[in-house]
């Protein structure tokens, strides 16, 4: 049963990364702010890299990393991030990420030894998103992506 729960969690994480990549890509396409466009694209890349790691975990555990679901991002949510107050948007992002960190820490606790490094990357990617939001809130835009960029570089 624990294995089924674990694999369900990895599948959910993989689907979440697909959604995250689509979300950040949509944000990049909607903003006129070049700096934020670059930031959103970097975060989309982080989601892509993490999603690929989760797909590989599914495959090595005998599961197919395929979905029939189409990914659509709600326009209202996009508007909240692109037209609303930036600090509110970053707080909203932090709230979402905090919940993901809890879920992914739970996955890490039950991960088989062979999967620990990939699941740790999953946790670290959420922590990088949290750091991004924290630094944006504190006004440190110049270093907001440092952790995300380092994690992307470590995946290659």
Give this prediction's pTM.
0.93
Measured distance CA(63)–CA(73) in Å, rounded: 26
Measured distance CA(37)–CA(39) in Å, rounded: 5
Could you report the per-residue pLDDT of 48-70, keeping only the tens digit for each? Answer: 999 999 999 999 988 888 777 77
CATH superfamily, domain at 2-155? Ferritin, core subunit, four-helix bundle (1.20.1260.10)
Residue 74 DSSP SS3: coil
Where are the chain's structural domains?
2-155
Mean of all residue pLDDT scores within the chain: 92
Could you report the per-residue pLDDT of 135-151, keeping only the tens digit for each? Answer: 999 999 999 999 999 99
């Amino acid at each position: 049963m624990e294995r089924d729960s674990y694999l369900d969690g990895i599948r959910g994480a993989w689907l979440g990364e697909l959604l995250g990549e689509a979300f950040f890509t949509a944000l990049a396409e909607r903003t006129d702010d070049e700096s934020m466009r670059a930031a959103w694209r970097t975060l989309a890349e982080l989601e892509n890299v993490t999603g690929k790691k989760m797909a590989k975990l599914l495959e090595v555990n005998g599961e197919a990393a395929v979905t029939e679901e189409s990914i659509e991002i709600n326009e209202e949510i996009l508007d909240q991030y692109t037209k609303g107050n930036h600090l509110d948007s970053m707080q909203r992002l932090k709230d979402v990420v905090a919940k993901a960190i809890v879920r992914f820490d739970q996955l890490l606790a039950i991960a088989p030894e062979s999967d620990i490094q990939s699941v740790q990357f999953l946790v670290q990617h959420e922590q990088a998103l949290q750091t991004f939001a924290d630094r944006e809130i504190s006004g440190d835009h110049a270093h907001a992506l440092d952790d995300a960029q380092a994690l992307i570089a470590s995946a290659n």
